[in-house]
A and B are shown apart, each in its own frame.
Chain A
Amino acid sequence: MKKKIMIVDDEPDIIFAVKIDLEELFPDFEIMSTGSGKECLDLLEKNKNPELILLDIMMPDMNGWELYDKIKNNSSWRNIPIVFLTARTDKIAKNNGEFLAEDFIEKPYEQEDFKKRLNKILNRK
């Protein structure tokens, strides 16, 4: 079974682009994508536990913080590293994000930087 990376974002174009980047950077991984918090939780329920989850913050219905909460409160998923991937750069988001998550990457990202940061997290495991 291939290791997985999950990405959650309500913008289909973002998913399209990031998926391409991830597939290029981490060819050994399967890239799962979901368009909402609900979809993400469904997938997790089905035991599709990824090595890493990339979360957007600004999503309708359930935003990134809420989703983060739900994931971390579940004992089976608690240990999955979460990285926020967002266009929000305000101070509050940054502070909270850096505190809560493994990392906080701003959109748009530079390829090199993106690769380095994700590598760091994945290699730690």
Chain B
Amino acid sequence: MFKVNLRLKSILITVFLILIPLAFANFYLTFQMQESIKENTMNNLELLAYTTGNEIEKTIEDHINKISVLSNNPVLKDNNASKSDKLIQLNTTQNFYKIFDDITLTDTNGNVIVSTTYNYQDEWKTNQWFQETLQGNITVSDAHVLPSPFKVIMIFLSPVFNDNDEIIGVVSGQIDLKNIWDITDNIKIENTGFVYLINNDEKILAHPNKDLIFSKIDEDEHLSTKMIDDTGSFMHSNENGTDIIYGYSSILGNTIYKNRGSWKLIVAQDSDEVLSNVALLQIQIVYVAILFIIILIIVGFIFSRSFIKPIHKLEKGMQEVSKGNLDHKVQIKSKDELKYLGDSFNKMTKELKSVSEGLKNRTEEVEKLLQQKDEFIGQLGHDLKTPLVPITTLLPKIKNKVDDPELSKYVEIISQNFRYIKDLVINTLKLAEINSSNIELSLEKLNLKELVNEVINYNKILFDKKSINIENNIDYQIDVYVDKLRIKEVCNNLLINSFKFMEQGGSIFVNSKKSNGFVTVSIKDTGIGMTMEQIDNIFNIFYKADPSRHELDSSGLGLSISKRIVEKHNGKIWAESSGIGKGATFYFTLPLNLDE
């Protein structure tokens, strides 16, 4: 499944490497855009507030002018003109302009001379604006409310001078602030943008929501603290957490408040709405990004195929080779390093194959040769051993029948030499047989003490000749798992060997010692002992411990054969001696029978 991981990794890397910078860029850019738009909007709203405010101011100034002009009307200036004439002037103006609710002419005491609709009395004397006007100034009132019917109005007052420049009265015109609403209500900015007007006391004079007229704007919002310049813009979060962009313009500050205040024309819009385009853009970018990711994944898949597939082919190739199939070829067609890898791999397997075949051929040859050798030895063995039979039988017969001492001696020499050859032939063949790799042990469970006893009994007559005493002290409970004939041969070899190097009346002690899985057998004699050099070489082929001894007594193969047999049983064989004259001990280990 590693190909999945590799593919996944490569796709993930591609996607992330491309997307992360994109995401960053996206966020950065949209942020910049938002800021830019906000600033733009603020500027725009400010401009709108300014122009709208200007328009309102112009309108108001227009209305002031009308009253001002009226106040210069000669009829009004004429003390002698009749009331009805003066009323006609007032009515004409009112009817002409159609914006004044009321036009009133009062004397300097505040008494109404004529009025198109009202008939106030006391109110005029204490009216601040009236007093102001009496100073000789055109005065504009702040917006104020009439209770019933509910109306928000403002009054424009202008002094009337006679020909001698003496104030003889005041003309005042009243307009309903509704007239301003026409200007403000028509301004719609998308869905959430609107315009409203407040006076210096923060009373709302114009607003799309007519219920709010002449209520105070929300004191908690502290908007006024932000509107300290003539014009400006700012952003503010309302109590719901909505961000609102404001543009404002101060109007009629001088006209109404002698610069100690002003009305504010305010334009407001939800910033969300303003930024809605950006939000839309962001959503579109997200869609594009998703599309992009899908494309990248597909591309990633396709792209990764170009190197996953070859890797997979290589892996398969290696699996095939480890299964032993050296004919498998890896076909990588891409035009890159992976192709070279594939070609190298194929070259390698080709080489492996030829080496392996070479080895196979060699092995077959060698096995054939070994087989031939075994057959040769088998045949040779047979041909060598067959003639030994009649000679073995007949020589003793001749010996018995020869009287002549000289002939007797000849026969004796022939017998000795014959014994030597026989021993050599048999042991050499045995050694060859043991060294052949085809040798197999036929293992069985045997009692060690009994096994050794058989060998001892077999050689009893021989040992009696030198009056040698043998003690078998092997633990009778020990069972071994060995090849019977061959281990008997080992025991035989060692006992005969000890016998050869002992004088009359010695002893041989056979002992056993168990350790994990094995038993160590020791054959200790009281013979002539061995030197260090002899101990080192005694198991070598053809080595004879005592060159001065009759060479015909031993072929020098017996101990080598014993060594081979013991080693085939996974055991060890070795000799120890304290020195010349101090006897020798031979040790060998055998596998225990493990059934218990």
Other-chain contact of B439, A88, A91, A95, A108 (Cβ < 8 Å) = A91
- Interface flag for B429 (CB, 8 Å): yes
A122 at the interface (CB under 8 A from B): no
Interface pair A20/B393, CB less than 8 Å apart = yes
A17 pairs with B429, CB closer than 8 A: no
Checking A21, A89, A108 against B388 with a beta-carbon cut-off of 8 angstroms, the contacting residue is: A108
Do the beta carbons of B387 and A88 come within 8 Å of each other? no
Q: Do A90 and B386 have beta carbons less than 8 Å apart?
A: no
Which of A18, A87, A95: most chain B CB closer than 10 A? A87
Given contacts A20-B394, A89-B433, contact A107 B378 (CB under 8 A): no
Closest Cβ–Cβ distance, residue B440 to chain A (whole Å): 6
Flag if A14 contacts B390 (CB, 8 Å).
yes
B362-384 Cβ-contact flags toward A at 8 Å (1 or 0): 00000000000010001001110
- With a cutoff of 8 Å between Cβ atoms, the chain B residues found around residue A107 in the complex are 385-386, 388-389
Q: Are B382 and A87 in contact (CB under 8 A)?
A: yes
Could you say which of A20, A95, A108 contacts B385, with CB atoms under 8 Å apart?
A108
Render A81-125 as a binary contact track against B, CB cut-off 8 A, 1 for contact: 000000111110001000000000011110000000000000000
- Say yes or no: A18-B397 contact (C-beta < 8 A), given A87-B382, A88-B378, A91-B438: no
Decide if A58 is an interface residue (CB 8 Å cutoff).
Answer: yes
Question: Closest approach, in angstroms, between the C-beta of B236 and any C-beta of chain A?
Answer: 110
- Complex Cα distance, B383 from A116, in Å, reads 26
Q: Is A13 an interface residue (CB 8 A)?
A: yes
| Complexed CA–CA distance, A14 and B390 (Å) | 6
Contact of A17 with B393 in the complex, beta carbons under 8 Å: yes
Contact (Cβ within 8 A) B393 A21? yes
The distance in angstroms between the C-alpha atoms of A13 and B392, with both chains bound, is 12
| A residues less than 8 Å from B386 (CB atoms) | 11, 14, 87, 107
**B148 interfacial by beta-carbon distance below 8 Å:** no
A69 to B489, CA, bound (A): 32
Q: Quick check: A89 and B429 within 8 Å, CB to CB?
A: yes
Say yes or no: is B339 at the interface (Cβ < 8 Å to chain A): no
For B393, list chain A residues within 8 Å (CB).
17-18, 20-21
Residues of chain A within 8 A of B422, CB atoms compared: 108
Question: Given that A90-B378, A91-B440, A108-B392 are contacting pairs, would A20 and B397 also be in contact in the complex, using a CB cutoff of 8 Å?
Answer: yes
B389 lies within 8 A of A108 (CB) = yes
Residues of A within 8 Å of B433, CB to CB, are: 89-90
Q: For A113, give the chain B residue with the smallest CB separation.
A: B458
- Annotate A1-43 by CB proximity to B: 1 below 8 A, 0 otherwise: 0000000000101101110110000000000000000000000
Chain B residue nearest to A90 in the complex (CB): B378
Chain A residue nearest in CB terms to B425? A108
**Shortest Cβ distance from A84 into chain B, in angstroms?**
13
**In the complex, A13→B389 CA distance in Å?**
8
Contact, CB under 8 Å: B387 / A13: yes
- The distance in angstroms between the C-alpha atoms of A109 and B386, with both chains bound, is 11
Q: Tell whether B442 is near chain A: CB-to-CB under 8 Å.
A: yes
Contacts A58-B382, A108-B385: A16 and B440 contacting too (C-beta < 8 A)? no
Contact of A14 among B374, B389, B438, B439 (CB under 8 A): B389
- Known A-B contacts A14-B390, A20-B394, A21-B393; A87 and B439 likewise in contact (beta carbons under 8 Å): no
Using a CB-CB cutoff of 8 Å, which residues 34-79 of chain A contact chain B?
Answer: 58
CB pair A95 B382 closer than 8 Å: no
CA distance A13 to B440 in the complex (A): 33
Chain A minimum-CB-distance residue to B397: A20
Q: Given known contacts A17-B389, A107-B388, is B397 in contact with A88 (CB within 8 Å)?
A: no
> In the assembly, what is the distance between CA of A109 and CA of B374, in Å?
23
A-contact bits for B438-449, CB 8 A (1 contact / 0 none): 111010000000
B199 to chain A, nearest CB (A): 129
CB distance from A31 to the nearest CB of B (A): 13
- Complex Cα distance, B429 from A11, in Å, reads 21
Checking B381, B390, B426 against A17 with a beta-carbon cut-off of 8 angstroms, the contacting residue is: B390
Least Cβ–Cβ distance between B261 and chain A, in angstroms: 131
Q: Chain A: which residue is nearest B440 at the CB level? A: A91
In the assembled complex, the Cα of A91 lies from the Cα of B381 at a distance in Å of 13
Q: Nearest chain B CB to A16's CB is how many angstroms away?
A: 6
B381 engages A89 (CB within 8 Å): yes
255-273 of chain B: CB within 8 A of chain A: none
Compute how far the CA of A95 lies from the CA of B383 in the bound complex, rounded to whole angstroms.
21
In the complex, the answer to whether B385 meets A16 with C-beta atoms within 8 Å is: no
**What's the Cα separation between A109 and B382 when bound, in Å?**
13
Report how far A12 CA is from B332 CA in the complex, Å.
76
* A87 touches which of B385, B390, B392, B442 (Cβ 8 Å): B385
Contact B382 A17 (CB under 8 A): no
- Asked if B389 and A18 make an inter-chain contact with CB atoms under 8 angstroms apart, the answer reads yes
User: Which residue from chain A places its CB closest to the CB of B383 in the assembled complex?
Assistant: A87
Find chain A residues with CB under 8 A from B397 CB.
Answer: 20
23 contacts between A and B (CB under 8 A): A11-B386, A13-B387, A13-B389, A17-B390, A18-B393, A20-B393, A20-B397, A21-B393, A58-B382, A87-B381, A87-B382, A87-B385, A88-B378, A89-B381, A90-B374, A90-B433, A91-B440, A106-B385, A107-B385, A107-B389, A108-B389, A108-B426, A109-B389
Apart from A20-B394, A87-B382, A87-B383, what 13 extra A-B contacts exist at CB < 8 Å?
A13-B387, A17-B392, A18-B393, A87-B385, A88-B378, A88-B382, A89-B429, A89-B433, A91-B438, A91-B440, A95-B442, A107-B389, A108-B385
List the 7 shortest-distance A-B pairs measured between CB atoms, nearest first.
Answer: A17-B393, A17-B390, A87-B385, A108-B388, A87-B382, A13-B390, A108-B389
